[in-house]
Amino acid sequence: MRASERHASLPLGHGSQFRQDPELTEAIDQLYADEQLERVVDNSENLLPNRILELSEVRELVKNEISLNGDDLNLVLSEVQKQRFYFKSIIVDVQADQSVQEIQCRRKPLIKKIEGILDEVNKMAERGETPKLELRNQRLWSNCVYDFDRVTLKSFAEAKKTSICYSDSNDRTRFSTIVFVLTKVHELLTKRLTVTRRELFYQNVARFRKQSTLDTAVRDVCCLLESPPWHLGVVATAKGLVAGPLVMVARNGAVVDCMNSGGVLIPQDVSGIQSLRSTARYVLVVEKDAIFQKLLDEGALMRLGPVIIITGKGYPDVCTRQLVARLTRELRLPALALVDADPHGLEIYLTYKYGSLAQSHLSHDLSCGKLRLLGARHADAVTLAPAAARLPLTARDRRKIQSLMRRPYLDAPACAPLRAELRAMLASGVKAELEAVAPTASELCDAYIPAKLRQLRVKT
């Protein structure tokens, strides 16, 4: 069904009707169609997809198998439509059962692995040796590979290692914290409990003193166990928001409808979302909460829709990145990023798209290789933002650009436009926030974003 058919006439107020511009509707439909075509090409070997047939497909099958008059055919299709919802509920229940089994199968090997690591530490101490742990170094870009449109940490055999020795005064605190987190994770897995990082910190403030100390230890433990934190019972505290035609069904049956005027908080346990249902045509990832709220206040869900809008409120947390990745992968939706035309905006875009160095061991679950930069581009800052609204690059901005350009994955041919973007910004010496490019919510929603969506159609 086309976007124009779904949103040809949506009520905005008493006596008023909204009609989306036909060109914008065509651009959104084209964006969605291109993504579906690309997915078909990528999955051309999967000739029998495991899914429920759409009514149009059922209609063709019915026509080919039996001969019915129009009234009878409509009755059959009406019954099929009722049954589709019934079968969907069955599938969700089956998936829930399978998910529980997967969790149980995954828990035992992790518990055994933790016990093996702690046992080896004890044996070292008994033998009079210095207890130590060996980890892949996650502070080196050279320890990562650019693979499948994301940045991935090299395998243990290939990566450069770092040893954390208890005898070293510089490593002692880190070593003790890792061992403590290992014992805590063992307890969580054994008792089948879940805790947020923030809760774990406040339960042991005297030990950690700083949240960053715990975060580093959790990352190290994940690297040791080669498992994401949510599989260990440790989930992040969510800060991101999502709004749009999206329904999230949790493993415990709880349902979250995201058609909320101010958006809804992204769940802390995104892996616990059993199913995602949406009629959206694309996902719009917004850098800042202020822009997110402006878009919602201006009616962007209808004016630019059908669309799911997400914000990580600045540098994105794990939960936001994980949800964006799941939406594009499971719902097969194209994703676009809307960030400031400055070094930090581009870094945030790169984090969503390729992943971060610190979380490179989780890139499979957190990166969104399909994400495209909608705006604001440097050319937009130069041509659309008034001279008075442009800002000069600071020394810190220049260092940030140079640091981004040194990332190995930007040497890939596919990243050439991004390198050109960074070079142009560095050469001009100016940057601009999105608010300078489109000063009002109306300009952003009715002019700037629609124009950028049409440009994507032309480029395609």
For residue 235, the SS3 value is strand
Pair 293, 366 in one domain? yes
What is the C-alpha to C-alpha distance for residues 378 and 419, in angstroms, rounded to an integer? 12
Q: Which residue shows structure tokens 């129009």?
A: 70
Asked which of 235, 270, 290 is the last residue of a domain, the reply is: 235
Q: Which of 237, 333, 328, 337 is nearest to 291 (CA)?
A: 337
Pair 202, 223 in one domain? yes
Strand partners, 234: 195
Q: Which two structure tokens, joined as six digits, stand for 183?
A: 């014992």
On whether the CB atoms of residues 452 and 339 are closer than 8 A, the answer is no
What pLDDT is recorded for position 7? 42
Q: Which two structure tokens, joined as six digits, stand for 27?
A: 């651009």
Structural domain contains residue 364 = yes
Structural domain contains residue 8 = no
On whether the CB atoms of residues 241 and 265 are closer than 8 A, the answer is yes
What is the C-alpha to C-alpha distance for residues 386 and 382, in angstroms, rounded to an integer? 8
What pLDDT is recorded for position 100? 57
Pair 145, 227 in one domain? yes
Those residues with Cβ within 8 angstroms of residue 82's Cβ, 6 or more apart along the chain or in another chain: none
Structural domain contains residue 385 = yes
Number of domains in the chain: 2
Strand partners, 219: none
| Residue-range definition of the domain harbouring residue 448 | 241-459
For the chain, residues with pLDDT lower than 50 are 3-16, 44-55, 57-59, 61-70, 72-74, 76-94, 96-98, 460
Pair 285, 355 in one domain? yes
Structural domain contains residue 17 = no
pLDDT tens sequence across 410-452 = 888 888 999 999 999 999 999 999 999 999 999 999 999 999 9
What Å distances lie between residue 67 and 70, 95, 131, 398, CA to CA? 10, 36, 77, 71
Please give the full DSSP string across 259-275, using - where no structure is assigned.
Answer: --TT-EEPPS-GGGEEE
On whether the CB atoms of residues 32 and 331 are closer than 8 A, the answer is no
On whether the CB atoms of residues 328 and 117 are closer than 8 A, the answer is no
Q: Which two structure tokens, joined as six digits, stand for 67?
A: 């001969």
Pair 126, 207 in one domain? yes
Pair 175, 258 in one domain? no
Eight-class DSSP state of 152:
E
H or E segment at 338? strand 335-338
Pair 431, 393 in one domain? yes
Determine if the pTM surpasses 0.85.
no
Structural domain contains residue 20 = no
Q: In terms of DSSP bridges, do strands 161-165 and 132-136 run parallel, antiparallel, or are they unpaired?
A: antiparallel
Those residues with Cβ within 8 angstroms of residue 411's Cβ, 6 or more apart along the chain or in another chain: none
What pLDDT is recorded for position 36? 81
What is the C-alpha to C-alpha distance for residues 168 and 175, in angstroms, rounded to an integer? 9
Q: Which of 137, 104, 147, 144 is nearest to 219 (CA)?
A: 137
Pair 262, 222 in one domain? no
Q: Which of 336, 284, 326 is nearest to 307 (CA)?
A: 284
Structural domain contains residue 139 = yes
> Which amino acid is residue 347, in one-letter code?
E
Where residue 415 falls (left for φ over 0; alpha for ψ -120 to 50; beta otherwise) is alpha
Those residues with Cβ within 8 angstroms of residue 212's Cβ, 6 or more apart along the chain or in another chain: none
Just list the catalytic residues.
202
What is the C-alpha to C-alpha distance for residues 399 and 422, in angstroms, rounded to an integer? 12
Between the CA atoms of 200, 203, 208 and 211, what dihedral angle is there, to the nearest 10 degrees? 50
Pair 206, 328 in one domain? no
Between the CA atoms of 201, 205, 208 and 209, what dihedral angle is there, to the nearest 10 degrees? 120
Pair 405, 424 in one domain? yes
Q: 24: burial class by Cβ within 10 Å (0-12, 13-18, 19+)?
A: buried
Where residue 128 falls (left for φ over 0; alpha for ψ -120 to 50; beta otherwise) is left
What is the C-alpha to C-alpha distance for residues 370 and 255, in angstroms, rounded to an integer? 27
Structural domain contains residue 38 = no
Structural domain contains residue 53 = no
Those residues with Cβ within 8 angstroms of residue 62's Cβ, 6 or more apart along the chain or in another chain: 68, 73, 76, 77
Pair 251, 353 in one domain? yes
Rg (CA), the chain: 25
On whether the CB atoms of residues 59 and 362 are closer than 8 A, the answer is no
* Chain centroid to CA 117: 32
What pLDDT is recorded for position 22? 87
Percentages helix, strand, coil for the chain (3-state, rounded to 5) are: 55, 15, 30
What pLDDT is recorded for position 35? 84
CB atoms within 10 A of CB 20: 21
